[in-house]
Amino acid sequence: MKRRGNMLNPFQLLPGPRAHALAWLLTASAATGAGALTLTWARADEQQPAAGLVRWSAEEKAVLASLSLKRLPPAPSDPSNAVEQQPAAVDLGRRLFEDPRLSRNGAVSCASCHDPARQFQDGLAVSRGVGLGTRRAMPIVGAGHATWLFWDGRKDSLWSQALGPLEDAVEHGTNRAHVARRVAQDYPREYEAIFGALPLLEGLPAHASPKGSATEQAAWQAMDPRRRTEVSRVFANAGKAIAAFEKSLPVPPTRLDGYIDAVIRGDRAAGHLLRADEVRGLRLFIGKAQCVSCHNGPLLSDQQFHNTGVPPRNPIRPDRGRAAATTAVQADEFNCLGPFSDARPEQCEELRFMVTDDAALEGAFKTPGLRSVADRPPYMHAGQLSTLEAVVRHYVAAPHAVVGHSELTHRHGGASPPKHVERPPIELTDGEVADLVRFLGTLSTAR
């Protein structure tokens, strides 16, 4: 009953006719339930209320509070990375993150596609490393909260994720032997202070990896197994340092955080923090536009995989997303259960209880977080849509999926019945689409 104070219906406190004549503006403390209601009103027929000052129900306030940065817990600790909290690892990770020597052409670093000046992304539909990629670079802030990394979740930790692009032929295009050499040559003291003695790398091939070119693979196979493990360990540790840096990045507050916190406090200043169209968009976001169904929590992502029928970049060879990734993460030597993980096997519950056999994984991609989303077009997993308006209109149009089945429903002229009868189609007017787009701008950093 703690929340009773927030559940009061102010219309019941007044005689009927007067309630009709007045537009009530209710602010209440939903977080504390202290019962301190502040009621103000203005004559609806005489003047409009201040632009953003509107009444939110107790239920709506609870949903709003769930989106606030204040509700973001610390990122869960990763048992597979024992050094993620060490300042020295954060520092080494920052330097490795920005180091273009960890690439085939000496010109590509993590920061090339995850530019710190651009929210750790590149603004491109698909990323350019030493070659052209097939998916959109994801922002890094908040990634420490994700169970599965990459759009398809083919990695189960931030450190394992960091290793992927290094050995990807079109990203850094390098190999673990080269990375181990660079670390030993350029960061020996920093590395050893965190991870202990470096292995002896004399006589190591310049380029060798189990995942590289035929030459690199042959060189790898020719290496002594113990040396292969030593090299892979240095490589894995480089990833752990990069992960420590990435996890240290703070999530900055947005205009929406300021608004929500004011609403929850019962602070009438909330009315000045957002415009009326933005607040209308917010109401749609948590309401009939259904955005909050998947874009939930303080990072505005459920961290899960969904097929919403986003048109594939290459319709001839459509990207299968999550469906093709579960086997990869299970087989990955750098996963939580692998020899380079610091976790005990029983701590690797996510891998143990991973969904691998659901048809819904076909063509499914991870829900991206929406903080600062307005500042980083283009959108979707391969930058298929160039504006937020196009994104919102995609959910209204709800096209059939090219690969797998879309979770969205649509009347499609009544021709085909909705697949999920319980889920209503997302139907918005042009004005509502505009309000929703305006609202998404409030998810940018407060200035």
Instruction: Work out which of 292, 300, 323, 392 binds other proteins, going by CB under 8 A.
Output: 292
The answer, yes or no, to whether the previous bond of 378 is cis (omega within 30 of 0) is yes
DSSP 230-289: HHHHHHHHHHHHHHHHHHT-----BHHHHHHHHHHHT-TTHHHHS-HHHHHHHHHHTTTT
The span from the CA of 267 to the CA of 264, in Å, is 8
Q: Is residue 64 within a helix (H) or strand (E), and if so which, with residue range? A: helix 58-67
Residue 290 is encoded by which pair of tokens? 């259904």
Q: Which stretch binds other proteins (CB under 8 A): 199-207, 231-239, 352-360, 396-404?
A: 352-360
Q: Does 62 bind other proteins (CB under 8 A)?
A: yes
Contact 320, 359 (CB under 8 A): no
Q: Spell out, one character per residue from 142 to 161, where the chain touches other proteins: x when CB under 8 A holds, - when not.
A: -----x--------------
Count of CB atoms situated within 10 Å of the CB of 217 = 15
Q: What are phi and psi of 194, to 5 degrees?
A: -100, -45
Q: Which stretch binds other proteins (CB under 8 A): 39-47, 203-211, 287-295, 395-403?
A: 287-295
Q: Which stretch binds other proteins (CB under 8 A): 1-9, 34-42, 191-199, 380-388?
A: 1-9
Q: Does 12 bind other proteins (CB under 8 A)?
A: yes
Instruction: Work out which of 35, 87, 188, 424 binds other proteins, going by CB under 8 A.
Output: 424
Q: Does 317 bind other proteins (CB under 8 A)?
A: no
**Hey, which residues between 364 and 423 contact other proteins (CB under 8 A)?**
407, 409, 419-420, 422-423
The span from the CA of 182 to the CA of 177, in Å, is 9
If binding means CB under 8 A, how many residues of this protein chain bind other proteins? 48
Instruction: Work out which of 18, 40, 107, 358 binds other proteins, going by CB under 8 A.
Output: 358
Q: Does 16 bind other proteins (CB under 8 A)?
A: no
Instruction: Work out which of 19, 42, 50, 65 binds other proteins, going by CB under 8 A.
Output: 65
- Provide, rounded to whole angstroms, the least separation between the CB of residue 128 and other proteins: 33
Q: What are phi and psi of 16, to 5 degrees?
A: -50, -60
Q: Which of 67, 241 has the CB closer to other proteins? A: 67
- Strand 22-28 and strand 37-43: pairing? antiparallel
- Provide, rounded to whole angstroms, the least separation between the CB of residue 416 and other proteins: 15
Contact 23, 42 (CB under 8 A): yes
Q: Does 3 bind other proteins (CB under 8 A)?
A: yes
Residue 445, CA distances (Å) to 119, 234, 256, 276 in order: 11, 37, 9, 19
- Provide, rounded to whole angstroms, the least separation between the CB of residue 153 and other proteins: 11
Instruction: Work out which of 303, 337, 342, 396 binds other proteins, going by CB under 8 A.
Output: 303
Residue 14, CA distances (Å) to 5, 18, 44, 337 in order: 17, 7, 16, 63
What SS3 class is residue 26?
A: strand
Q: Which of 274, 408 has the CB closer to other proteins? A: 408
Closest Cα to residue 371, out of 248, 242, 250? Answer: 250
User: How close are the terminal C-alpha atoms of the chain, in Å?
Assistant: 38
Q: Does 58 bind other proteins (CB under 8 A)?
A: yes
Half-sphere exposure of 415 (CA within 13 A, CB side): 3
Q: Is residue 23 within a helix (H) or strand (E), and if so which, with residue range? A: strand 22-28
Instruction: Work out which of 353, 429, 430, 447 binds other proteins, going by CB under 8 A.
Output: 353
Q: Which stretch binds other proteins (CB under 8 A): 86-94, 123-131, 280-288, 333-341?
A: 280-288
Instruction: Work out which of 85, 356, 386, 387 binds other proteins, going by CB under 8 A.
Output: 356
Q: Does 196 bind other proteins (CB under 8 A)?
A: no
- Contacting positions for other proteins (CB under 8 A): 1, 3-4, 7-9, 12, 58-59, 62-63, 65-66, 71, 73, 147, 286-294, 296-297, 302-304, 306, 349-350, 352-358, 360, 407, 409, 419-420, 422-424
